[in-house]
Structure 1
Amino acid sequence: MITSPSTRSKALAAAAATVCVLTVSGALPASASASRTASAAPAEAPLLVSVGDSFISGEAGRWAGNSNRSADGYSGTDRAWNPATGKSDPYWVYGSSYDNGCNRSDVAEVQSVTLDVSRLNLACSGATSKAVLLPESGGEPFKGERSQARELEDVAAGRAVRAVVVSIGGNDLGFSDIITDCATEFVKPYGGDPCAPDAAEQVAQRLPGVRQAAVNTLADVRTALDRAGHPAGSYRLILQSYPSPLPDAGRIRYPGEKYDRLKSGGCPFFDKDLTWAHDELVPEISSVLADAADQSDAEFLDLSRSFEGREVCSTSTRQADATHSPSGDTSEWIRFVTSGLGQGQKQESLHPNRYGQQALGTCLTLQLEQPSGDRRCTNTPGRGPAAMRLNSIG
């Protein structure tokens, strides 16, 4: 359920030149394995591997849009809802990864790719670069699992590898803590202040470290693959950025900085903070990651504007209810901020939901169908996840 004024002090948010235009049409794939085990495709199909954090592990994939109506599995948005029992079972979506909170969903980005590949999702919700790095580089076990690069080294041995796609840096930046502080200011009983001025200073100080963390991560992924018998040039290495989870203040459905943003919308932020996060924070992170990819001779997939108009509380989306079913054409593609007391987990907040993850899967499909290069992915207004577009950069 959405946080209410009585619990607002505990509000949390999890964690933020065109050459050609390409589109994918048609249905997206049904669910696939959510575990670290390579999912079943033809045995000879090359591996497509995801490495990194919650934005690529599949966090929030349980939800198809957002709803404040508790009936019928929250108006059909809870994909784990069993109408026969009237209960929800997150294992349907996250598989065994729900046990340790990695939350690798059945619609995670690599699971939603429409290519003839074997899919392996090593990413884990909450992971920093240390959860990916090899042990000799300072990598550490995370949530009871070995470092992702070490796991990749073993799994990739003797297997063809199509590509490894990496999402990293948000947790090294402390994105979740920053956004949580912003939400906490909004819900203070006697009124808080926008977080943007102080948060912007913190971000500026931390971004160089984020860049280095991404460079180190890409280097260790390459080392792991080299040890597994895959020299550079035999696979594609892609670093992606993050979609903005929030619209700017001019495109929010709940004007006036009132508590309906908290109680109804699940977007408890001041106008100044919304615009800062959308216009400055997400593009700055994307720019730093682009630099890291360039330094590492990796491809860069810019997702910073991929959810434009599909963000939580955006004026061009709506929640599901008794008369409006969830839809990739009309629903939000980001999980709204929840208290964790009813609708799922707090850590799912402000992550791509089912539609968002399918959209990112389309972006990655388009990227892999083209020669190596840096590209930007955007959506088609009013259309679903299969209608994403890819623009070359530079």
Structure 2
Amino acid sequence: MRRFRWWIGAGALLFVTVLVAVLVLTWGPGTPPAKRQGPPGTGPLTIVSLGDSTLSGEGAGDYTADTSGANGDWCHRSPNATVFETDVPGIAAKVNFACSGAPSAQVALGDVRQYTEPSQAGQLAGLVKTHRVAIVVVALGANDDPHFSQLINDCFQAWFIAGSPPCSTTVESAWTTRVNSMVPKVTAALGDVKKVLAQAGYETGDYQLVLQSYAAPIGPDVPPNLQNLNGCPFRTEDLNWVRDDGVRVLSAGLARAASQAGARFLDLSRAGAGHEACSGGADASKEWFSRLTLRLNDLSDVNRASHSLQESFHPNANGHAQIGRCLTEFLATSLPTSACLSGADGNLHSTVSIASPG
């Protein structure tokens, strides 16, 4: 029995000796295992944006011909969109798949289309065959249960129709419930983005996944002479509610979705403070959001008339540039969350977020 135990001990010692020798030969003395050099595959290092109008470039103008009504595609992608305003070292390509009005289901994998376009996660799956995706920035959720664009339209109607109650009084009681119903849809869409990358051989450390929230496009600092069809036709109580309550609750819901999906979160809920539509009065150049915008030429075309107001109350080219600046700063950090706030220089900067995902 003693001899048998001796052989077991000797065998174990021999195994350990061989294993150490193999590791030394593989790694070398004091050398750790080689780390992955970023995203797998071939092609340029790339940043990609997915989502809705906030990232497509709605409001920024100069839309690409193929997304400005051609064959029913109204995604309104602009070369002035946020993703093109980022400046991340090493990034050689910038790709925008975001589509105006897109719900979470169209960003996710599946058969849901937005303005004729298929799944954005599916488009990402095609992109990783020729690009090394290092960053995916997503903005979505407002077109799910919250129906934020419809809310803005309801607020306009409340101003227009004499005697009707403020839009905020009709929506505020159900707003939190609507946002809560949105959260799992956004989480699922982010999960599909991660699934696409995992199936392409990506590990979580190979890329950054960022979910950003929404800035309030309107606020109460509107001169009386612009609180009408000349710019921002909304009641003051509704302007206050959108800025102080609506966007804040929406952002908190998106923070929860990002946390549940394992994504980083960029809070834009206060990004537009002082630069909302019409806040500049006679000098609209100070504003980061479009005012009520009507494309008169589109009214003569039955296929375009229903989209003649589509640009209204979205980040304009200045707004996209500012958000791109803040996003760039956030991407350079390892913070899980951050907020875009105006700095002393008047520009947006990434700062530690005080928003809670809880």
Normalising TM by the smaller chain, what interval?
A: 0.7 to 0.9
Change beyond 3 A, Cα 1:133–1:93: closer
CA distance in 2 between counterparts of 1:393 and 1:55 reads 20
Q: Aligned partners of 1:242 and 1:340: how far apart in 2?
A: 24
Tell me the distance in 2 between the aligned counterparts of 1:96 and 1:198.
Answer: 38
Q: Which moved more, 1:151-160 or 1:46-55?
A: 151-160
Counterpart Cα distance in 1 of 2:51 and 2:114: 11
Distance 1:94 1:380, change over 3 A: farther
- Residue equivalent to 2:151: 178
> 5 Å matches for 1:349-360?
349-360=312-323
Distance 2:157 2:179 in 1: 23
Q: Secondary structure at the match of 1:348?
A: coil
TM-score by length of 1: 0.72
**Unaligned regions of 5+ residues in structure 2, if any?**
1-41, 299-306
Give the distance between the partners of 1:106 and 1:147, measured in 2 at CA: 21
Aligned CA distance change for structure 1 residues 102 and 319 (closer, same or farther; 3 Å): farther
Match of 1:373 among 325, 333, 336: 336
Alignment partner of 1:105 is 2:68: no
1:218-237 mapped onto 2 (5 Å cutoff):
218-237=190-209
Residues of 1 paired with 2:269 and 2:104: CA distance? 20
The 1-side partners of 2:177 and 2:236 are apart by 24
2-structure distance, mates of 1:274, 1:161: 39
Say which SS state the counterpart of residue 47 (structure 1) adopts.
strand
Given residue 231 of structure 1, which amino acid in structure 2 is its aligned partner?
Answer: E
Q: How does 1:298-309 map to 2 (within 5 A)?
A: 298-309=263-274
Aligned partners of 1:95 and 1:372: how far apart in 2?
Answer: 38
Among 245, 261, 270, the alignment partner of 2:227 is 261
**Structure 2 residue identity aligned to 1:53:** D
Report the 3-state secondary structure (helix = DSSP H, G, I; strand = E; otherwise coil) of the residue aligned with 2:293: coil
Structure 1 unaligned residues grouped into runs of 5+:
1-42, 63-91, 321-325
| Deviation of the 1:285 alpha carbon | 0.4
1:333 aligns with 2:298: no
Q: Quick check: which one's helix share is greater?
A: 2
Separation in structure 2 between the aligned mates of residue 273 and residue 301 of structure 1, nearest angstrom: 25
Alignment match, 2:259: 294
CA distance in 2, matches of 1:368, 1:53: 20
Q: Distance in 1 between matches of 2:339 and 2:175?
A: 23
The answer to whether the aligner puts 1:155 opposite 2:155 as a matched pair is no
Deviation sequence 1:164-218 (CA, Å, 0-9, x none): 0110001102111111111101011x34221111111232231112111110111
Deviation (angstroms), 1:232: 1.8
Amino acid at match of 1:309: G
* Number of the residue aligned with 1:280: 245
**Corresponding residue number in structure 1 for 2:59:** 60
Matched residue SS, 1:170 = coil
What is the aligned partner in structure 1 of residue 17 from structure 2? none
Structure 1 residue runs of 4 or more that deviate by more than 6 Å after TM superposition = none
- Provide the rounded CA distance (Å) in 2 between the counterparts of 1:340 and 1:206: 32
Q: Which residue in 2 is equivalent to 1:195?
A: 167
- For the residues of structure 2 that align with 1:260 and 1:52, how far apart are their CA atoms? 31
- Partner Cα distance (1:268, 1:97) in 2: 28
Helix, strand or coil for the counterpart of 1:110?
helix
RMSD: 2.0
The alpha-carbon distance between structure 1 residues 310 and 196, as it changes in their structure 2 partners (threshold 3 A), is same
Is the radius of gyration larger for structure 1 or structure 2? 2
Paired with 1:108 and 1:132, the residues of 2 have a C-alpha distance of 18
Contact 1:158 1:229 in 2 (8 A): no
* % identity of equivalent residues: 34
SS at match of 2:229: helix
The code of the aligned residue for 1:351 comes to H
2:160 aligned with 1:167? no
Separation in 2 of the partners of 1:382 and 1:368?
A: 20
Counterparts of 2:65 and 2:83 in 1: how far apart (Å)?
A: 15
Contact (CA 8 Å) 2:51, 2:98: kept in 1 or not?
yes
User: How many Å separate the matches in 2 of 1:352 and 1:319?
Assistant: 18
1:123 to 95, 98, 104: 98
What CA distance in whole angstroms lies between the structure 2 residues aligned with 1:269 and 1:381? 30
